[in-house]
Structure 1
Amino acid sequence: MGKVGFLMAVFVCVLCVSEASVYQVGDEQGWEQYVNYTEWIASKTLHVGDTIVFEYDKERMNGMVVSLDDFHSSCRPIRIYQTGLDKFISVKRAHLYFICGFPDHCLHGQKVDIRILESPALLPQTTTQSSRDTQTQPLSSNSSPSPQSGQCETKIVVQQVPADPRSRTKLVKETTKK
């Protein structure tokens, strides 16, 4: 790739990052019991590159990433967070489930189901040029074929960045074979 192509790719990446949004879970109510997170997330559309912030009293609650089954039963967390101010940058399209692991907090509504969509800048767009149709491909394809049932297990891996008030946690979706 020539210098112009490289610079164009860098510009597009910077443009995508600058358009990212920050979402505080629960808005001004934060991560708390008795908040309707289903209603909260219904008014949001999160994309790759957006930041999800959980703010809460770490002495009274936490945040846990769980599977869909455990979202309903609160059994085994994939990862537990307890800093009181947890930040995640979505780096891939994903469907994430967060709950509070303190007794009865899930029963009081402290859980949220968040879908992360492709960044609008990365979605394919169709254009027509004279007599031939062309399709613009996304800069980076994060999609992979859907696995057949029983062939693989999906995990969400979290990579901590060194402690720093400006640091963030990155969410990465990984698929591993059973």
Structure 2
Amino acid sequence: MARITAAFAVIALFAVFPSMEATQYIVGDDRGWSSNVDYYSWIADKTFHVGDSLVFNYPTMMRHNVLVAANFDVYDNCDAAPNYGIWTSGNDVFTLPTTGTYYFTCEYDCDVGQKIMVEVNS
């Protein structure tokens, strides 16, 4: 009886969570993290889940970075603070740890549209 119950538990788990593989998204696809990408269009057809990751690729000599804004007002106003971190490697990976909204900007080109707001589902 215990084996049957365990088997049903495993089947139920796969029914609720059909795929537990995380997806890696290259932000901006081939154009990368740049001031000349329409990120509203880029994000429009994507659904993000806990464990997925965002890869921000950009040339380090072009004065870009990735700032994780602490809230919508910081993101919307292109402020630098408060933030949850600033990355500058040119190949920055951010794994989405929990459900909620995440705000990413470039400290230098946010005002020309280099920012994305990511909604993470469970």
TM-score after normalising by structure 1:
0.55
Task: Compute the RMSD of aligned alpha carbons.
Answer: 2.4
1:81 aligns to 2:87 (yes or no): yes
Inter-partner Cα distance in structure 2 for 1:17 and 1:85: 25
Structure of greater Rg: 1
Aligned to 2:97: 91
Counterpart amino acid of residue 115 in structure 2: K
1:45 aligns to 2:47 (yes or no): yes
Aligned to 1:63: 66
Give the 4+ runs in structure 1 shifted more than 6 A. none
1:111 aligns to 2:111 (yes or no): no
Higher helix share: 2
After superposition, give the CA deviation of every residue in 1:9-47 in whole Å (9 maximum; x if it has no partner): 9x85xx7433x2111111111000021101111111111
Inter-partner Cα distance in structure 2 for 1:16 and 1:51: 16
Aligned residues with identical type, % of pairs:
33
Counterpart amino acid of residue 92 in structure 2: D
- Mapped contact 2:67–2:105 kept (Cα < 8 A): yes
Higher strand share: 1
- Mapped contact 2:78–2:111 kept (Cα < 8 A): no
Q: CA deviation at 1:78?
A: 2.5
1:92 counterpart SS class: coil
Inter-partner Cα distance in structure 2 for 1:69 and 1:91: 21
Inter-partner Cα distance in structure 2 for 1:72 and 1:94: 17
Q: Which of 21, 24, 33 is the aligned partner of 2:23?
A: 21
Number of residues of Structure 1 aligned to a counterpart in Structure 2: 112
For structure 2, which runs of at least 5 residues remain unmatched after alignment? none
1:17 counterpart SS class: coil
